[in-house]
Chains A and B, each alone.
With several copies, the nearest count.
Chain A
C-alpha cells in the first residue's frame, strides 16, 4: 500500500512551482490576465523546455512517457499558481493522438507536440452544452463542416483535435481551408476560448478515435479536478493570510471566531479531496473499470468545492475581494472555468449515477 506521490512526483510539482514563481510572478500573471491576448509565448516555451508539453507522450516520440497522474500533478500546480496558458488543451490533444492516432499521425505530430514546437488544442463542445463524445454532431469525413465552441487558445494552435459525430476525433491543421477562429470574451482570462467554425475544412480522422475520445474526456475531467484542487487550496491560503494581516476593531480579523470557523470550513471542504483526484488519475492508467466513473465524480466534486471556496474567499476578503485589483478574482474565474468546462457537476453526477446502475 503506497497511496502517496513518489519523490520524483513531488519534485515535479516543486519544479513547476519554482519555475512559475520565477517566470510568472504576480505582476506577470496580472499583465497576462489584463492583456488583450492572454497568451505568453515565452512562458509557454519555458514550460515546454521543462518537458511539460510532452510529459505524457511516449518516449519514442520524444515525450517523457509519464502517466495521467503526473499530468494531473502538473495541473494541480498550474491551478495553484493560476498559470495562464494552453497546457490543458495541448496535453489533451497529445493524449488523444498518442492513444488513437495512426503511426504516421503520431510520427508527424507527437515529436513537435512534445517539444512544444507545435501547439495543439481540442475542439469538443457544440451548441447547447454538447460536450461529450456521444453528443457531438459534426459529421465525420475527409472534410468537416460545423461549429465548435469553447476551444482553448485555438487562435494560437497549429493543430486542432476535433470531436466528430459518432464520438470520433479528427485532426485539423492551422491553415486548413474554411477554418475560421473567433475569440470569445472569456471569463477566465488565463485560458481564453475561441469558437472554431469549419466549412468543408480538410481533416484527417484518428483511426482509433472513439477510444481516444473517451480517454480524452476522462483525462480532461481529471485535469480539471486537479486544477480545481490546486486553485481551491491556494484560495484557502490566501484567505487565511489575509485574516492574519487585516485588522479591524484593533485585532487581526483572524481572531474572530465566526471568520475562523468559515476558514476552517473552507479547508475541510477541499483538503480531503486531494486523494480523490489522485485516484481518478491513477485509475485511468491502472484501474480501467473504475476510471470513467471516478473521473466523473472527481470533476463534479472538486470543481463544486472550488467554486464555493472561491465565493467564500471573496467574502473572506471583504469589499476588496470583489475588485479587479484583488487577485482572488483570477482564481474565482478559473473556478468558473473548471466547473463549467466539459459540463457542470450535475451532468457528471447523473453520469456517475447511471454508471453505478442506479
Chain B
C-alpha cells in the first residue's frame, strides 16, 4: 500500500506542471483575449502535449494516448491546481463523443468529434420524456422517414442546456411495431430549426437548470442516425473504455462536508458555536465516517482501475452512497441554519449552491432531492445492486419489461 504515486508518475506530474507553468495562463497579447478564446487556444496545445482528449484518436482531434487512470488523475489534480481548462464540460464531450467513436459512421466522427472537443459545438441530450422516467425504453417521441428525412414529433424533458445547444442527440421510436426496446433509434438533430420549442423547467429552488423540449415536425437527414434503425437503445448504452474519474465524486463530497463543518463553526446553538454542541459533534463525526469510507473506496477503485482489475460491486454503489451522504449533509445543514431556513433559496439554480452564502445550504437542501437522485432512480439503483451485485433474482415487473 502506497498512497504516493511513485517515482515514475511523480516524474509525469512534474512534466504536467512544467507544461502548465509554460502554457497557462496565456502570456503576452494572448493574455488579453477573452477566457473562452484563451481556453480554446490552450486546449489545442494541451491536446498536442497529450494532456487532454487522451482517449480520442488523433485523426479526430484528440491526443490518442494509452489509457492510464493514474496519469489522468494527475492531470486533473495539476490542471485543477493551476485553474487550467480541461476538456469542454458538458454532455457532448462526456456522452456523445464516446458514442460516436464507438458506433458512429466515419463522416459523423469527422464532422462532429473534433468540433465538439474543441468546444465549438454544444450538445444536449434528448432521452427522458414526461411519461418515461425510470422506464426510459417506454419513450413515445416518434421519428418517421419521409422523403429521405427523419420527421420527429414528441416531447423531451430534463434536457440540460437546450437553450444554448447547437445539436441534440435524441432517442426516438422509429419502429412502432417492434417490441419496446427494439423500436428505438438514435438520431442527431440540429437545434436551430423551426418546430423546436425550448421551455425552461423551473425547479423548486426557483432556478431553471433543465428544459422541456417540444418537437413538432422537426427534421434531420436520413444518415444522421447513429447505428442502425432500431438499435438506438444499444447505441445509447455504449460506453468506451475510458479513464474513469473514480474519486471525483468523493472529492465533491469531502468539499461539501468541509463546508458543513465550517457552517457548524459559524452558527450558534444556545449562544455557543454549534460545533461545541454534543449532538452536533456526534452527527458530524458520524457523517465523517461515511465521507472517509467513500474517499478510501475511491482510492481503491482508482488503484483497481489502474491495474485493470475489477473494483467489484462498489462501482454500482457510488451514486447511492454520495446521494445518501448528500441527504445527511443537507439535513444537518438545515438544522444548523435554524431560522435562516425560512428564507428563499435565492431564486437561482445550481450556481446558488456553489456560492459562498448561507442560502446555498437551502439550495443544497432542495438539490439533495434533485432529479438526478429522485424517485425511481434510487430504487432502480437498489435493484441493480441487489440483482447484478448480489445475484438476487429479478423482479417480475422488470422481467416483463425487458421482454
Contact = CB atoms under 8 A, between A and B. Distances in A.
Interface stretch (A55-63, A165-173, A247-255): A247-255
Contacts of B133: 248, 318-319
A252 B393 contact: yes
Given A1-B2, A1-B3, A268-B321, A256 B397 contact: yes
A39 B271 CA distance: 35
Interface string B335-355: 101110111111100000000
Given A129-B268, A322-B204, A324-B203, A272 B339 contact: no
Contacts of B270: 350
Interface in B347-396: 347, 362, 366, 369-371, 374-379, 382-383, 385-387, 389-396
B40 to A, nearest CB: 32
A268 B401 contact: no
Contact of B2 (A2, A244, A332): A2
Given A264-B389, A322-B374, A336-B342, A2 B206 contact: no
A298 B275 CA distance: 21
B129 to A, nearest CB: 11
Contacts of A259: 379
Given A264-B385, A352-B288, A4 B374 contact: no
Given A267-B313, A272-B294, A260 B202 contact: no
Q: Is chain A's binding surface mostly helix, strand, loop or mixed? A: helix
B275 A150 contact: no
Interface residues of A, number: 93
Interface in A317-358: 317-326, 328-329, 332-333, 336-337, 339-341, 343-346, 349-350, 352-353, 356, 358
B203 to A, nearest CB: 6
Interface of A: 1-6, 69, 125, 128-129, 131, 149-150, 184-188, 193, 236, 240, 243-244, 247-261, 263-265, 267-268, 271-276, 278-279, 282, 287, 294, 297-298, 300-302, 304, 311, 314-326, 328-329, 332-333, 336-337, 339-341, 343-346, 349-350, 352-353, 356, 358
Interface of B: 1-6, 9, 70, 73, 128, 130-135, 138, 157-158, 201-204, 206, 261, 264-265, 268-271, 275-276, 278-279, 281-282, 284-286, 288-290, 292-297, 299-300, 302-304, 306-307, 312-314, 317, 320-321, 324, 327, 334-335, 337-339, 341-347, 362, 366, 369-371, 374-379, 382-383, 385-387, 389-398, 400-401
